[in-house]
Amino acid sequence: MRNLKFLCCLSIVGSLLLAHPALAVYETPQQVFTKAVTNFNKSTSASFSGVFTVKSTTKSVTYKATKYSRAYVSPAYTTTIKSNFTGQIDDSEAQSKKYKLFIDLSVKADGFGFENLAMDLLGIGQKNYVRVNYAGEAGGLTSELNMLANQWILLDKDAINKELLGSKYTDVVDKNTKNANLDLKELQNTLSILRKNNVIVLTKSKDVKINGVDTYHYNYRINKIGLRKFLVDFGKHLQDKTTLSTSDLKSLDKWLKTGSLPTGGIWIGKKDYNIYRLTVVQNKNDSKTSSSVVVDIKFSDFNQSFYVDIPANFLTLQELFAKFGLSNSSVDTSTSTYRDSKRLSDLKQIQTAFELYYTDKNDYPQGINLLLGEAGSAQCLGETGFKPSGSCVRPYMGLIPKDPSDGGHYIYNYIANTSPAFSSYTVNAVLEGNVNGMTAGITLSPSGLSD
C-alpha cells in the first residue's frame, strides 16, 4: 500500500510537470549564458550605447624630515576619464561591414586634462571616416584638433595596409580570411573549455525588463583557478597547439595571485537569448594607488540592417598631412618637418608612459644618460624599469621610440628625490626646425616640453 501511494504521488508530480513545461524545463545559468554568447556571435547587427569610466587616485604620501629636507605630505591626486558612446554595427555582408559610432570623452584631472572631446566614426568595408566635433582644453592638442572640427577624414584600411605591408599584404589578407572562417568553431571550443573549467561563475539575481523585454539577470565573477586551467587548456585546442612556457606560467601565477579580476552583470532575453545589457567592473587597490574601471553597455535592434551615409566631402590622409605641412603626397619620412613632428609625438607618448609608471611606483624609472629606444639601452619600460626590447614584464611602453634621424638621440636622465621629496627626470632632444616657437635643443620633464 505504501508503495502504491508513492507511485500515485510520483504520477501526480510527473503529470504536473508534463502539463507545465516551464516547470519541467529548467536551464542553469551556464546553459543560458552559453546560448546567449552563441546567439550573440550569430547576430548580424545590433545597436548599442553605454558609458566607460576610469578613475585613478594616487594616495597621499607622508615623507619624513631628513637632514636635507623638511617633512612633506604629497596630496592625493585623482584623474577621471569618462566616455559616453552610442552606435550601430552590421556585419551581415562580409565584404562590406558597416558601423556608426559617436564618442563623447571627458578627462578631469587635478590640474590638467581634456575638458571634452566629441567625435563621430563610421565605416563601410575597408573605408573608415572620422570627424572631430569639438576639442576643449586639450592641452597642446587643442589647436590641432579644433583645426579639424567638423571635417571628415578618410582612413582607407586597404590602402594603408598595402602601403605598410607591401608584398606581404596578400599573405596577411589570406591569413585573416582563413582565421575568420574558424571563428565559429573556435567559439564553440572556447565555450566548451570555459564550462569545463568553471571559469565564469554565475549567480542569479532579480529578473528585470529592459526596453519591455523580460530578461534573466546574472551576476558574474571570474574563478582564478578555473581561469588558469582554461589558459593552459585553450592553447592545446588551437591549430598551432600553443603551450605556455614555464616562464609564462610563473608570470601567470604571479598575476593571478596579486591581480584583481573583473566582475559584473549580464542581462539575457528569456525568449530570444539576446544579451541586452552587460556591465564590467575592475577594481585595484594598493598602498599607493586605487583605481576602478566600469563599463556599462546596452544592446538593442538585433539583426536589423541600417544605412551608412558616406560623407560627400572628406580629407584623405595625404591631404591631412599636407594640411599640417608634413608632405604634399604620402608621408615623406625624409623631411625634417616630418621628423620634428614625430619627435614631438614620441615625447608626448613617452611622457604618458612615465606618468603611468609614476602613478604605480611613486617614482620615475632610474637611469643616467640612457639613449631611449636604442639597441643595448632602454628599449621598453616595464614594472622593473627600462629593459632591452621584448624583456619587459607588464610594460608601460612595449617599444620606446628612438629619434628618427641618424645621429639623433632621446637622452634620458633620472633626477633623485629633492625637496619637496619628489623625483623627476629629463629627456633631451634636438629639433631640426621651428615647431610652435621651439627650436634646436628641447627638454621633456614632468611639467612638459621646454626649449
- CA 187, distance to chain mean position in Å, is 21
Nearest to 308, CA basis, from 51, 83, 52, 92: 92
136 and 268 housed in the same domain: yes
Asked if 328 and 165 touch (Cβ cutoff 8 Å), the reply is no
In DSSP terms, 450 is beta-bridged to 443
Q: Hey, CA dihedral for 49, 130, 397, 345, is it positive or negative?
A: negative
Please indicate, yes or no, whether residues 295 and 345 belong to a single structural domain of this protein. Answer: no
The last residue of one of the domains, among 276, 300, 324, is 300
Final residue of a domain: which of 300, 329, 352? 300
The pLDDT score that the predictor gives to residue 204 is 93
Instruction: Return phi, psi of residue 98, to 5°.
Output: -125, 150
The 3-state DSSP class for residue 47 equals: strand
Same domain (yes/no): 160, 221:
yes
Report the alpha-carbon distance of residue 409 to residue 395 in Å, rounded.
22
The angle subtended at Cα 24 by Cα 22 and Cα 27, nearest 5°, is 75
In a domain, 13, yes or no: no
CA distances from 180 to 174, 184, 185, 187 (A): 10, 8, 10, 11
Is residue 131 located within the same domain as residue 264? Answer: yes
Q: Note the pLDDT of residue 85.
A: 92
Q: Give the pLDDT confidence score for residue 1 in this predicted structure.
A: 42
438-444 contact pairs (CB < 8 A, 24+) = 442/343, 442/347, 444/347, 444/350, 444/351
Asked, for residue 19, whether it belongs to a domain, the answer is no
The reply to whether 360 and 294 lie within a common domain is no
Q: Among residues 270, 300, 330, which one ends one of the domains?
A: 300
The answer to whether residue 21 is domain-embedded is no
Residues 357 and 287 in one domain: no
The pLDDT assigned to 20 comes to 43
Residue 436 within any structural domain of the chain: yes
Nearest Cα to Cα of residue 149 among 105, 186, 118: 118
pTM for the full predicted model: 0.61
Q: Cis omega (within 30 of 0) on the bond before 395?
A: no
**Beta-bridge mates of residue 415:** 424
| Residue 319 grid cell | 591631404
What pLDDT was estimated at residue 220? 93
CATH code for position 115: 2.50.20.20
Residue 287, CA distances (Å) to 54, 57, 355 in order: 19, 11, 18
- For residues 96 and 241, state if they share a domain: yes
Domain annotation covers residue 93:
yes
The answer to whether residues 283 and 425 belong to one domain is: no
Judge whether 329 lies within some domain: no
How far is residue 41's CA from residue 51's CA, in Å, rounded to a whole number? Answer: 22
Asked if 55 and 126 sit in the same domain, the reply is yes
Confirm if 295 and 49 have CB atoms less than 8 A apart: no
Q: How many domains is the chain partitioned into structurally?
A: 2
Residue 319: inside a domain = no
- 383 and 250 within one domain: no
Whether residues 286 and 382 share a domain: the answer is: no
Contact 299, 275 (CB under 8 A): yes
281 and 382 inside one domain: no
Q: What is the DSSP string of 318-368?
A: HHHHHHTTS-SSS--TTSHHHHHHHHHHHHHHHHHHHHHHHHHHSSPPP-S
Residue 440 belongs to what domain range? 339-450
Q: Is residue 244 one of the residues assigned to a domain?
A: yes
Q: Which are the contacts of 48, defined by CB distance < 8 A and separation ≥ 6? A: 85, 86, 87, 88, 89, 297, 298, 299, 300
Specify the length of the chain in residues.
451
User: Mean pLDDT in each 10-residue stretch from start to end of the chain (451 residues)?
Assistant: 41 39 63 87 90 87 67 76 91 79 81 68 87 61 60 78 53 48 59 77 92 94 86 63 71 80 93 94 84 93 85 78 55 65 82 84 86 82 83 79 86 75 82 77 84 76
Between CA 186 and CA 239 the distance in angstroms is 10
